Amino acid sequence: MTDSIWPVAQFDPVRRLRVIAATTPGASIHEIVVGAPLESVWDVAADLEGELPLWLFPDIRSIKVTTPTADSERLVARARGHSGLRARFDVVLRPGWCLMQSRFLLGGMAATEEDGATRFALLGGFCGPLRLLAPAIRPISARLGDRALIRFAERVGQRPR
């Protein structure tokens, strides 16, 4: 009986994002099952410059992404909002997984296959002192998250397969 024949527990990126959400004060996670293959869903999610401003939050005007190191999974994203908001995010982006962190904001996306469709999860939260605001604006952020997921599913549906 060797180590390799012992069963290994399943685990997927959406569960992983739930762990981040459950252990980050002020963070919230929203999930949706999209009737499309994982690759199609992640094509939309991973397009931070082209797609993210179209579905995430209406205030986002543009996102510019650079790869400052040789590590292709480590990116920097600079977001600009119609309201004047500017934020620089350190990003980890890989198939099925994205985590973005700025000085005050935390964002995440994850996707996994589920019964022929794709479960997609979106995480939002605050870092640093702003996390103290999270309980007060939780109802608003919940609505924003749900609406963002609806727009996301629409964007996936509009992509040619």
Partner 1 sequence: MEQSESIDRDPQLVRTLVCAAQAGDKLAVGDLLDLVTPYVRRLCGPIALDEGADATQETLIMIFRNLGQLRAPEALFGWVRTVAVREAVRIAKRRGAHAELTELPAPGDPQLAVDVADVLRRLSPEHRAILLLREVEGIDEQHAAELLSVAVGTAKSRLSRARNSFRKEWRS
Scan residues 110-129 and list those touching partner 1 (CB under 8 A).
127-128
Cβ nearer to partner 1, comparing 100 with 153? 100
Judge whether 57 and 37 are in contact, CB under 8 Å. Answer: no
Chain centroid to CA 97: how far?
Answer: 7
- Is 90 among the residues that bind partner 1 (CB under 8 A)? yes
- Is 70 among the residues that bind partner 1 (CB under 8 A)? no
Query: C-beta of 58: minimal distance to partner 1 in Å?
Result: 25
* CB-based burial, 49-69: b 16+ in 10 Å, e otherwise: eebbbebbbeebeebebeeee
- Is 9 among the residues that bind partner 1 (CB under 8 A)? yes
- Is 101 among the residues that bind partner 1 (CB under 8 A)? yes
- Is 19 among the residues that bind partner 1 (CB under 8 A)? yes
Neighbours of 23 (CB within 10 A): 8
Cα 100-89-148 angle, rounded to 5 deg: 55
- Is 99 among the residues that bind partner 1 (CB under 8 A)? yes
- Is 7 among the residues that bind partner 1 (CB under 8 A)? yes
* CB-based burial, 111-126: b 16+ in 10 Å, e otherwise: bbeeeeebbbbbbbbb
Q: List residues binding partner 1 (CB under 8 A).
A: 1, 3-13, 15-16, 18-20, 22-24, 90, 92, 94, 96-97, 99, 101, 106, 127-128
